[in-house]
Chain A
Amino acid sequence: MIFWLTLAAMTAITLGFVAWPFVFQTGAARSGGDLAIYRDQLEEIERDRAAGLIAPEESEAARIEVSRRLLKAAGSEQKSAVKPAAGAESGARRGVALGATIAVVALLPAGLYYTLGAPGAMLPKAAMAGGADKAGGAPTLEDMISQIETHLRRKPDDARSWEVLAPVYMRLGRYDDAIASWRNVIRLSGDTAEREENLGESLVATADGVVTADAKAAFDKALSLDKDAVAARYYRGLAAMQDGRRDDAARIWRDMLTSAPPEATWTNTVRQSLDQLEGRTPERPSAATGATSQPDARQMQDVANAPPDQQTEMVRGMVARLAGKLKQNGDDPEGWLRLVRSYGVLGERDKAAAAIADARKALVADSEKLRRFDEGLKTLDPQAN
């Protein structure tokens, strides 16, 4: 309501400006500026002559020329002297002008804002905040993140907040922010094997699965701090494999398996990677080597249940078709969820994140569908989104 009142007030003030001359009959017709200029030119010639800057005969010629201009201007002044605007004709004209002016200033913006404006855009936020209040329930993840971000903006040296935020960024697929956060954590409260591992994983994720030199350095550091760091060892193996040093990779992973404690949940993943390395078509891209997340046992099993080569090819084909379909018609929250999930299964976290963004854009017009999509996202495997 305040909003609409403000719009009305703005319109009223603007109308005030526009109607001012009509109401107070301001504005005197004025001319003769040119006469003043020519007189000034004459004075200048006189001054220059007195100072000896121009010769007398030159100044005389110039004086005649300017005087001629002066006379002509004075003549046309009289001729075109602004007619005193009075009488019925001008009164009617002013009336029409005022009416048209008011109509344009008052009605046109209203019509234009009706078509172009998006007053609804500021509502969802308010509604969300209101809803949270009413429910008294837990704030959403987004709220929490933005709260911590606001806090960090004021106190950028708060290591604990960075450490809370970093894994959340990773989970949301915001790897660059995750990298910056982990670097801040390490800078502010020292490095541990776990932090270096996390930094390394974020770096691998942002490089779309490639164990870059920076990532490798982070894993090496982690291992120098704790020689049993599991993820760091795993990625060292992956780096060796991507380097084409297959024997090294196999040795690293085999060592991991032999030294694994019996309760370890990660052995499946490592075994899977090892099988793939030693088994069939190793240099083909596959979901397993592409997986940038922590080794995920369930995901690996899915792949294991079918001939891996065919399986990936099949999934990729399906996913590409689905993506194409959604690009043409994005009005399908369930479809988008399926796409996000598929990218997650394929380990393509960047694409999953991009799909989430695209989906939100495509569904933005329909708040009900958008809500369904957001709900669905929460139920997805966190590894997938």
Chain B
Amino acid sequence: MIPELGHYALILALAVAIVQSIVPLVGARTGDAVLMDVGTKTAFAQFLLIAFSFGALTYAYANSDFSLATVFENSHSMMPAIYKFTSLWGNHEGSMLLWVLILAAFGALVAAFGANVPTSLKATVLAVQSWIAGLFYLFILLTSNPFARLDPAPLQGRDLNPILQDMGLAIHPPLLYVGYVGFSISFSFAVAALIEGRIDAAWARWVRPWVLLAWIFLTLGIAMGSYWAYYTLGWGGWWFWDPVENASFMPWLAGTALLHSALVMEKREALKVWTILLAILTFSLSLIGTFIVRSGVLTSVHAFASDPARGVFILVILFLLIGGALALFAWRAPALKQGGLFAPISREGALVLNNLLLSTACATVFVGTLYPIALEATTGAKISVGAPFFNSTFAPLFVPLLIAMPFGPLLSWKRGDLRAAAQRLTAAFVIGVAGLIAAFAIEGKPVVALCAVGLAFFVIAGSVFELIERTGLFRASFSIAARRAAGLPRSVWGTVFGHLGLGVTLLGIVCESAWSVEQIGAYKPGATIPLAGYELKFTGLSKRDGPNYQEQVATFDVSENGRSIGVMEPSKRTFAARSMGVSQAALMSRGASQLYLSLGDVNPDSTTTVRAYYKPVVLLIWIGGLIMALGGSLSLSDRRLRVGSPKLARNRAATQPAS
């Protein structure tokens, strides 16, 4: 009975979404506070209903109720409890329900925390949010019902795809979805601004926390996904320029641009129309990214089985939402009041450069991802655009971006002094050169990588110098500097960590790509593999039984300079229910560097193919991502983002009576 109730809750949510799409909008247009307030209540109701529906499906998965088609297709009674839960979103239907759950949650968050936003804007935002939600509820109900029953119920499920039986799946999709869906809020704000026909600096301030929130989760999601691919796919790659990866990267680039352009808008009331467009585009890219693969337009290794009926429906939704928003933009944007002009050498000038480069980078990825389709549709030729294209187009865009990045925060608004900023960055430049020389001393070549290491150090040092500059560390006494640091707005810290994280990631990427050591060979037990100063002794193969798989485990004793430092056990798992094998790599961290072992096949001459890698400072790639997300969180916690919120204003009055 519980799945049926879940199904009904989904239907009720659709009805509520329809109400929310219209009534608050009428309220906002006529200035009727009661009608506007309906939006707040319906947003809560939608969230509760979807949460109930999601709970019902979770219950079915937890209890291995194979009378549900999706449970049957993706679960197995012997599966460990955690995967029973996560297999819910390892398939199309379940992941759609997770998607709308997050969408409804964001709607409820706006209803709850949007108190500093004018009521009519908030009501319009909630209505727009509900158009999105309603379309997706309808999509789920008509084409992807997660509650469809099988009769008679099968006795056993087909098990989850073994590649997905991993903690990475537990974390990665929800993070990514929160990121994607989070951008729906800035989209709704943008559409609402177009409908209201009013847009000013305050708008940017209202939107910024939502953009930041989505950006933080998207950053974490991408980093997590990349790490997951790194350790599960077994050949040590961490980014493949796969369409689905690009799909998550494009909104990230656009979202990062949006984050910066919103800043310009907030401070200078410039770039208004552009910011609105970016807000629409960021979510559009999220939508295209999530759904284009499911519609069957693109094929990818990540693809869920595609179904033509779903494809048509998805395209209709995309067309209504994106096409509708852009049409509205085309109609209304020319009527919006343009902001002021500004000098090229200024903080806002730097941010415009950032936007230019980021959006070009985003367009590059977009073209690289869709060009093969376009070419095939027009000429019939089939090509695939791979890493070489992206690497060679990306570097020329990112290098100037990274060089300019430390300058931005040092320039003042309106009129910046480039020479002064450069002088202040001398020390960072020196550190960059020092990094370059150090890398040369350790690795020698290639020159490109050495320069990139220098650039990474420049970026890292430059971000920290902004902090030193602001606090007057080394000039004033430490206690004064510490007091100044404590007094700095959190968003300054956010900028520092955000930029720092990017530098750290860059350092990891460069070192990993240039100086990884790879050793592939067939070995018999007893053999020793020398690898970048370590020795891996292959001590033997054994068989082990897991709950729903069997695995063949190879054991390696790892030693450094003759001293044993641990054991690595890569394995190959065979999952009975799908008779499918998965290679489980073994990883050993040495500082930020890693040893990486994965097993190939057992050959006829009783040797085992082993892939062994030494990856210098590879962990920095993801640590950098974490630092960026930390920066975002610091920025999000800046009290200025909550100005005008009545509840918090009261708190502030209580703690800081003097202000």
**Chain A residues in contact with chain B, CB under 8 A?**
2-3, 6-7, 10-11, 14, 17-18, 20-22, 25-38, 40-41, 43-44, 51, 53-54, 58, 61-62, 65, 69, 72-73, 76, 82-83, 85, 90, 93-94, 97, 100-101, 104-105, 108-109, 112-113, 116-119, 121-122, 124-125, 142, 145-146, 149, 153, 156, 174, 176-177, 179-180, 183, 187, 206, 357, 360-361, 364, 370, 374
Contact = CB atoms under 8 A, between A and B. Distances in A.
B78 A34 contact: no
B38 interface: yes
Contacts, number: 227
B623 interface: no
B458 interface: no
A369 to B, nearest CB: 13
Contact of B23 (A31, A101, A113, A156): A101
17 contacts: A10-B8, A10-B49, A14-B12, A14-B16, A17-B42, A21-B37, A31-B118, A32-B644, A40-B643, A108-B11, A109-B15, A112-B15, A112-B141, A113-B8, A121-B67, A122-B1, A364-B151
Contacts of A122: 1, 3-4, 149
Contacts of B67: 121, 125
Interface residues of B, number: 82
Contacts of A38: 201-202
B412 interface: yes
B116 interface: yes
A26 B548 CA distance: 55
B8 A85 contact: no
A97 B77 contact: no
B156 A177 contact: yes
B302 interface: no
B19 A104 contact: yes
Nearest to A20: B41
Interface string B399-434: 000000000000011110000000000000000000
B62 to A, nearest CB: 12
A183 B545 contact: yes
Interface of B: 1, 3-5, 7-9, 11-12, 14-16, 18-19, 23, 26, 30-38, 40-42, 44-45, 48-49, 67, 77-78, 115-120, 141-142, 145, 148-156, 198, 200-202, 205-206, 268-269, 412-415, 470, 484, 487, 489, 545, 547-548, 550, 576-577, 579, 640, 643-645, 649, 659
- Per DSSP, chain B at the interface is helix
A123 B484 CA distance: 69
Contacts of A187: 545
B200 A73 contact: yes
A77 B4 CA distance: 49
Interface centre among A33, A51, A206 (most CB of B within 10 A): A33
Contacts of B45: 14, 17-18
B1 A29 contact: no
Given A58-B413, A364-B150, 9 more contacts: A6-B1, A21-B37, A31-B119, A33-B118, A93-B30, A105-B12, A109-B14, A116-B142, A118-B148
Contacts of B269: 65, 69
A105 B16 contact: yes
A100 B16 CA distance: 12
A60 to B, nearest CB: 11
Contacts of A174: 155-156
Contacts of B32: 85, 90, 93-94
